[in-house]
C-alpha cells in the first residue's frame, strides 16, 4: 500500500490519543483539552450530528473562527465521513451562496458573533433559500452539546483513506472560488511529510494565527500535522501582534505559520515593544504570497527562530526550505517539494521545460495534488495539463534545486512591450525609506498599453519624480520605475491576509 493510501484524518487523532492521551491537545482563550478530552468531545458531537441525520458524504459548511471548537467540529465530521466545506470567516455571503449552489450542503455550522458580525443571519437567509440546507448550528449550541451526557453511540459507516475528507476554496481574489476536493489518505500524507520536514514531535506547540480553515494553517503541517505528532495546537482568534505575542509567551509556542502581511505587522510591533518573551520560537513558516529577502532576514533577526519559507497551494503541492539550509536558500528561495514523489517543472509557453535559472511557468504533480476541481465548470480544466496542475505562478529553479517564485503569470505587466514582474518593482520600492508595504500592478494606459502603478503604506509621501530619481541613483532599470504612485492607509487584504490586487484594480477603475 502506498503511504498516501494508508490513513484517515480521524484515524490520525485516534492513533495520537493512544500514544499521547494525557498530553495537552488544544487551547484557545477559554478552553484547554488533552487528547483524551478532545476525542471524547469529538465523539459526543459526532454522535449528536449523526442523530440529527448527518451521514457519510454529506457536505457541511463550516465557518468558524480559530478555536478549540473548530478542531472539534472538523474531527467530528471526519469521524462520520461527512465533508466539511472550509469557509474562512472573512468570506462574504455571496461567496457562501455560490458555494451552496455548487455543493448543496445539508448544514451550515457557524458562529453568533465574530468582530461584531452575527453569522447566523446569513446562514438563516441561505437556509430559507435552499431546501437542501436542513440545519444551522452555532458554536454556543455545540458548546452545550459537548458538555452534556453522552448520547447513544452512533453506528457510523467506516471511512477509508480514499474517501473525500473535505472541500476547501481556491485562493482567487475575485469571482467565485472553485472547490478543491481533498481525500483522507493523500491529505494525511501531505500533513505528515510537511510535519517531518518541520521536525515536529509531541513537544511542538503550534500557533494558528491565520485562519485555521486555510490550507496553510490547516494541514501543511498546521493543525493536522500537530495532531499527528501529538503536539499542542494554540488557537489565536484575533490575530493582532499583541494577541500573537501574548500567546507565544504564555504557551511557549515553538512554531507558527504566517502570511507575509502578518510577519510585517509582528515585526513592526516588535520594534516598538520588546517586552514579550519570544525565545520559545524554533520555526516560523512563511508562505502564501511573495516575501522579500529583506523581510525574510528581518523575520529571523527580529522575531527569532529559523525561517521556513513555504510555497504551496490548497490544490496540493507544498514546497518548503530546509531547516538546515544556508542563509541564501532560507532568505531567497521557497525550497523543494515536501514529498519524494512530488514532481515539478518550469515550462515555457509551449509547455517545454526551460533550463535551470530561467523563468517560466511552474507546473506541479504528485500523490497529494489534485487532478480536477469538485463539480467544476469546463473552463476550470485549463488549470490542468498532461497530469500537471498549473497554479498560474511564475518561477525559477535555481542552481541549488530550490524554487524561487517570481509572481503570478497573469500579473505580468506589459509596459510598451516590456514585460515586468510586479515583484521586481515591489522589491525596489519596499527598500525606500519609510515604506512598510507595497503592491505593484499594471493599469490601462493609452500610450503604453499598461503602466506601472504602485500602492504603498508608509510614513513618507513620494512623488513619481522622486522615486524615479532614487531608482536611477540605485542603477535600477528604467522599465521598473513606477508611472503612478498611490499612498494608502492600509493595503486591502484577501480573506487569508494576502494583498488583494483585484481590489486595488477596482480602486483605480472607480476613479
Ligand atoms: P492558496 O490556494 O490560497 O494557498 O493560494 C496559492 C497561491 O498563493 C499560489 O498559487 C501562489 O500564487 C501564492 N503563493 C503561495 N505561497 C507563495 C510564496 N511563498 N510566494 C509567492 N506566492 C505564493
> pLDDT tens digits for 139-173?
999 999 999 877 788 889 999 999 999 999 997 64
Q: Who wins on pLDDT, 177 or 221?
A: 221
Mutate to test the pocket of ligand 1, among 166, 173, 313 (most ligand atoms within 8 A of CB): 313
- And the C-alpha cell for 260? 507575509
| DSSP states along 391-419 | -SEEEEE-TTS-EEEEEEGGG-EEETTEE
**CA 82 – ligand 1 centroid, Å:** 28
Work out the average pLDDT over 295-301. Answer: 97
Judge if the beta carbon of residue 405 lies within 6 A of ligand 1: yes
Q: Tell me what the pLDDT averaged over the chain comes to.
A: 94
Judge if the beta carbon of residue 393 lies within 6 A of ligand 1: yes
| DSSP states along 79-115 | HHT-EEEE--TT--HHHHHHHHHHH--SEEEE-S-BT
Ranges of H-type helices in 176-318: 184-197, 215-219, 222-229, 241-251, 260-272, 293-298
Q: What is the pLDDT of residue 395?
A: 96
**CA 75 – ligand 1 centroid, Å:** 26
Q: What is the pLDDT of residue 275?
A: 97
Q: Which pTM value belongs to this model? A: 0.90
Work out the average pLDDT over 302-328. Answer: 98
* pLDDT tier, 298 (very low <50, low <70, confident <90, very high otherwise): very high
Q: What is the pLDDT of residue 439?
A: 95
CA distance 49 to 83: 13
**Least confident interval from 121-125, 411-415, 494-498:** 411-415
Peptide bond into 366 cis (omega under 30): no
pLDDT of 235-288, one tens digit each? Answer: 999 889 999 999 999 999 999 999 998 999 999 999 999 999 999 999 999 999
* pLDDT tier, 232 (very low <50, low <70, confident <90, very high otherwise): very high
**CA 472 – ligand 1 centroid, Å:** 31
Judge if the beta carbon of residue 163 lies within 6 A of ligand 1: no
Identify whether the C-beta of residue 226 lies closer than 8 Å to the C-beta of residue 194.
no
CA distance 347 to 360: 5
How many DSSP H helices and E strands does the chain contain?
A: 16, 26
Judge if the beta carbon of residue 495 lies within 6 A of ligand 1: no
- And the C-alpha cell for 15? 492513533
pLDDT of 416-439, one tens digit each? Answer: 777 788 988 998 999 999 999 999
Query: Which atom of ligand 1 is nearest to 171's Cα?
Result: 3
Q: Is residue 121 predicted with pLDDT exceeding 90? A: yes
- Tell me which DSSP letter residue 300 carries: I
Delineate the domains of the chain, giving CATH numbers in brackets: 1-183+198-228 (3.40.50.980), 239-410 (3.40.50.12780), 413-509 (3.30.300.30)
Q: Given the C-alpha cell 484547554, which residue does it identify?
A: 32
Longest dimension (CA), the chain: 75
Q: What is the pLDDT of residue 446?
A: 83
CA distance 411 to 392: 10
Q: What is the pLDDT of residue 449?
A: 81
Q: How would you classify residue 39: left for phi > 0, otherwise alpha for psi between -120 and 50, otherwise beta? A: alpha
CA distance 274 to 303: 10
Q: What is the pLDDT of residue 198?
A: 98
Query: Which atom of ligand 1 is nearest to 392's Cα?
Result: 10
- And the C-alpha cell for 126? 441561505
CA distance 282 to 199: 10
Query: Which atom of ligand 1 is nearest to 393's Cα?
Result: 12
Q: What is the pLDDT of residue 248?
A: 98
Pairing mode of beta strands 24-27, 232-235: parallel
pLDDT of 351-384, one tens digit each? Answer: 999 999 999 999 999 999 999 999 987 777 888 9
Positive or negative, the Cα torsion across 264, 265, 266, 272?
positive
Query: Which atom of ligand 1 is nearest to 168's Cα?
Result: 2
For the chain, percent of residues with pLDDT exceeding 70: 99
Work out the average pLDDT over 295-306. Answer: 97
**CA 146 – ligand 1 centroid, Å:** 36
Work out the average pLDDT over 206-232. Answer: 98
Judge if the beta carbon of residue 391 lies within 6 A of ligand 1: yes
Amino acid at each position: 500500500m502506498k503511504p498516501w493510501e494508508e490513513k484517515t484524518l480521524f484515524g490520525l487523532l485516534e492513533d495520537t490519543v493512544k500514544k499521547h492521551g494525557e498530553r495537552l491537545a488544544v487551547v484557545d482563550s477559554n478552553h484547554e483539552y488533552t487528547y483524551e478530552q478532545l476525542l471524547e468531545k469529538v465523539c459526543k458531537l459526532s454522535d449528536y450530528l449523526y442523530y440529527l441525520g448527518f451521514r457519510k458524504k454529506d457536505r457541511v459548511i463550516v465557518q468558524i473562527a480559530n478555536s478549540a471548537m473548530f478542531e472539534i467540529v472538523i474531527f467530528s465530521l471526519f469521524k462520520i465521513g461527512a465533508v466539511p466545506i472550509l469557509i474562512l470567516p472573512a468570506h462574504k455571503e455571496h461567496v457562501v451562496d455560490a458555494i451552496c449552489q455548487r455543493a448543496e450542503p445539508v448544514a451550515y455550522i457557524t458562529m453568533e458573533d465574530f468582530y461584531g458580525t452575527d453569522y447566523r443571519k446569513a446562514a438563516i437567509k441561505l437556509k430559507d433559500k435552499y431546501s437542501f440546507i436542513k440545519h444551522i448550528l452555532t458554536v454556543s449550541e455545540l458548546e452545550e452539546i459537548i458538555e452534556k451526557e453522552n448520547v447513544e453511540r452512533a453506528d457510523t459507516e467506516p471511512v477509508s483513506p480514499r474517501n473525500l475528507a473535505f472541500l476547501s476554496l481556491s485562493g482567487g481574489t475575485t469571482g467565485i472560488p472553485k472547490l478543491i476536493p481533498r481525500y483522507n489518505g493523500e491529505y494525511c500524507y501531505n500533513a505528515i511529510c510537511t510535519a517531518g520536514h518541520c521536525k515536529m514531535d509531541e513537544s511542538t506547540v503550534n500557533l494558528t494565527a491565520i485562519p485555521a480553515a486555510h490550507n496553510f494553517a490547516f494541514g501543511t503541517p498546521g493543525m493536522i500535522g500537530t495532531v499527528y505528532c501529538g503536539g499542542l495546537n494554540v488557537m489565536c482568534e484575533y490575530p493582532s501582534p499583541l494577541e500573537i505575542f501574548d500567546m507565544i509567551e504564555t504557551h511557549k509556542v515553538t512554531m507558527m505559520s504566517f502570511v507575509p502581511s502578518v510577519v510585517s505587522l509582528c515585526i513592526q510591533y516588535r520594534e516598538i515593544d520588546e517586552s514579550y518573551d519570544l525565545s520559545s520560537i524554533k520555526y516560523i513558516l512563511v508562505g502564501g504570497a511573495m516575501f522579500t529577502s529583506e523581510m525574510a532576514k528581518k523575520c529571523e533577526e527580529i522575531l527569532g527562530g529559523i525561517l521556513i519559507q513555504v510555497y504551496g497551494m490548497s490544490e496540493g503541492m507544498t514546497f518548503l526550505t530546509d531547516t538546515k539550509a544556508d542563509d541564501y536558500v532560507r532568505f531567497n528561495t521557497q525550497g523543494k517539494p515536501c514529498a519524494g514523489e512530488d514532481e515539478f517543472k518550469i515550462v515555457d509557453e509551449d509547455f517545454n521545460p526551460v533550463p535551470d535559472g530561467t523563468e517560466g511557468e511552474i507546473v506541479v504533480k504528485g500523490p497529494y495534488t489534485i487532478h480536477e476541481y469538485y463539480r467544476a465548470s469546463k473552463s476550470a480544466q485549463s488549470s490542468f495539463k498532461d497530469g500537471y496542475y498549473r497554479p498560474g505562478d511564475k518561477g525559477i529553479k535555481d542552481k541549488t534545486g530550490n524554487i524561487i517564485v517570481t509572481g503570478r503569470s497573469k500579473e505580468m505587466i506589459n509596459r510598451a512591450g516590456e514585460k515586468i514582474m510586479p515583484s521586481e518593482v515591489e522589491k525596489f520600492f519596499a527598500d525606500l525609506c519609510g515604506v512598510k508595504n507595497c503592491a505593484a500592478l499594471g493599469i490601462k494606459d493609452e500610450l503604453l498599453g499598461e503602466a506601472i502603478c504602485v500602492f504603498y503604506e508608509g510614513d513618507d509621501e513620494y512623488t513619481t519624480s522622486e522615486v524615479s530619481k532614487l531608482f536611477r541613483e540605485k542603477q535600477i532599470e528604467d522599465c521598473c520605475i513606477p508611472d503612478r504612485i498611490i499612498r494608502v492607509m492600509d493595503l486591502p487584504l484577501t480573506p487569508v491576509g494576502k494583498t488583494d490586487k483585484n481590489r486595488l484594480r477596482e480602486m483605480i477603475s472607480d476613479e
